[in-house]
C-alpha cells in the first residue's frame, strides 16, 4: 500500500508526495511538526501541514533569502534571522567572511532541535561560534535591540499562527528601528500566483516605513505554484542590481546573474507592487 502526503496549498490545489516513512512527528507548544522522508524530494520538514523545506530544493530558498541582501550590503557584520529554525538561512549567512555574529530568533525551540537531529545538511551552521541562539519571539527581539543589525532576514512561515505578526506594519517599524545606518531587510513574501493580495497588502504596509522596496523572485518546486517572492527593503537607495562579488561563497542556485535577473518582474507581478 502506498502512503502519500498532501499539502493543501489552497482549497483547490494540493502538492502530493509519495512517502517512504515518517521520521518524526510531535505537537509543540506552537504547531504540529513532522519530518517525513519522501521518494521524490528526500526529507521534508512540515509545520501545521505545510511544507517548510525539502532536502532536494531547500538551497534555492535559503540562498536567495540570504545572499541577495548580504551581497547588496557593503559590509554585513551583524545579522538577525527571525524564524528560520531549520538553520538553512544561518548556514548560508555564515558563508560570508565579513559576518561576525548571527542571531537566530526562533520562537519554537523544537524546530531547532529536530532540525539539528534529522536535517544535518540544513542545520550544519548550528555549531558555528558566530551563531547566537535567541529562542523566543522575533518581534520582541527586534523591539529590544534597536540599531543593532546590518541585515535582518525574516525567514517566516506562512502568515498564520506564530508568524502572522511578521507581515504587519508594526513589525516593519520595529525591524527598521533595529537596523544600523545603511541596513537592509529581506523577507519571504509568498507566491505571486497564490498570494497576490498578501503581496499587495504587505508592500502597502512597507511603503509607510521604508522608502525603497523591491520584490524579487525564485523558482522553488515544492512551494505553492513553484514561483516564490522575496522583498528587499531599506531606508536608502542601494545598488539592487549590482551585487558585490562574493569570493569563496559557493552556491547551487544564487549567482550574480541570477541576482540581477531575479529583480526583472513579469508584468503581472510588477502590477502587484506598482501601487504600493
Q: Which residues pair with 25 in a beta bridge?
A: 34
Q: What are phi and psi of 56, to 5 degrees?
A: -75, -30
Domains in the chain: boundaries: 4-54, 58-273
Give the separation between CA 57 and CA 15, rounded to whole angstroms: 15
Bridge-based pairing state of the strands 131-133 and 212-219: unpaired
Per-residue pLDDT of the chain (276 residues; tens, 9 = 90+): 899 999 999 999 999 999 999 999 999 999 999 999 999 999 999 999 999 999 999 999 999 999 999 999 999 999 999 999 999 999 999 999 999 999 999 999 999 999 999 999 999 999 999 999 999 999 999 999 999 999 999 998 776 665 567 777 888 999 999 999 999 999 999 999 999 999 999 999 888 899 999 999 999 999 999 999 999 999 888 777 788 888 889 999 999 999 999 999 999 999 999 865
pLDDT at 254: 97
DSSP element (H, E) containing 114: helix 109-118
pLDDT at 58: 98
**What CATH number does domain 58-273 carry, 3.40.50.150, 1.10.1740.10, 1.10.101.10, 3.30.300.30?**
3.40.50.150
Q: Which residues pair with 33 in a beta bridge?
A: 26, 47
pLDDT at 171: 87
pLDDT at 159: 64
User: Class of the 4-54 domain?
Assistant: mainly beta
Of the residues 86, 155, 197, 257, only one is catalytic, namely 155
Smallest CA-to-CA distance from 183 within 65, 99, 100, 76 is with 76
Furthest CA-CA distance within the chain: 58
Give the separation between CA 105 and CA 84, rounded to whole angstroms: 8
Give the separation between CA 164 and CA 97, rounded to whole angstroms: 33
Calculate the dihedral angle through the C-alpha atoms of 178, 180, 182, 184, rounding to the nearest 10 degrees: -30
pLDDT at 169: 83
pLDDT at 192: 97
Q: Does the active-site annotation cover 197?
A: no
Amino acid at each position: 500500500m502506498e502512503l502519500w502526503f498532501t499539502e493543501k496549498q489552497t482549497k483547490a490545489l494540493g502538492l502530493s508526495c509519495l512517502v517512504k516513512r515518517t521520521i518524526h512527528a510531535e505537537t509543540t507548544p506552537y504547531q504540529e511538526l513532522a519530518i517525513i522522508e519522501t521518494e521524490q524530494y528526500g526529507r521534508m520538514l512540515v509545520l501545521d501541514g505545510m511544507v517548510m523545506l525539502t532536502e532536494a530544493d531547500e538551497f534555492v530558498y535559503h540562498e536567495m533569502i540570504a545572499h541577495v541582501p548580504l551581497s547588496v550590503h557593503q559590509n554585513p557584520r551583524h545579522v538577525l534571522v527571525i524564524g528560520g529554525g531549520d538553520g538553512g538561512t544561518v548556514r548560508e549567512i555564515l558563508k560570508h567572511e565579513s559576518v561576525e555574529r548571527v542571531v537566530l530568533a526562533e520562537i519554537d525551540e523544537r524546530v531547532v532541535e529536530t532540525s539539528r537531529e534529522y536535517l544535518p545538511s540544513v542545520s550544519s551552521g548550528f555549531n558555528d561560534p558566530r551563531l547566537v541562539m535567541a529562542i523566543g519571539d522575533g518581534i520582541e527581539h527586534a523591539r529590544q535591540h534597536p540599531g543593532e543589525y546590518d541585515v535582518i532576514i525574516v525567514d517566516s512561515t506562512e502568515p498564520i499562527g506564530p508568524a502572522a505578526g511578521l507581515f504587519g506594519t508594526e513589525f516593519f517599524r520595529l525591524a527598521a528601528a533595529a537596523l544600523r545606518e545603511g541596513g537592509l531587510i529581506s523577507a519571504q513574501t509568498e507566491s505571486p500566483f497564490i498570494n497576490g493580495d498578501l503581496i499587495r497588502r504587505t508592500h502597502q504596509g512597507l511603503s509607510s516605513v521604508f522608502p525603497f522596496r523591491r520584490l524579487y523572485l525564485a523558482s522553488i518546486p515544492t512551494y505553492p505554484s513553484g514561483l516564490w517572492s522575496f522583498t528587499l527593503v531599506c531606508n536608502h537607495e542601494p545598488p539592487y542590481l549590482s551585487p558585490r562579488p562574493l569570493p569563496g561563497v559557493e552556491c547551487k542556485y544564487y549567482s550574480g546573474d541570477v541576482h540581477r535577473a531575479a529583480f526583472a518582474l513579469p508584468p503581472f507581478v510588477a502590477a502587484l507592487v506598482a501601487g504600493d
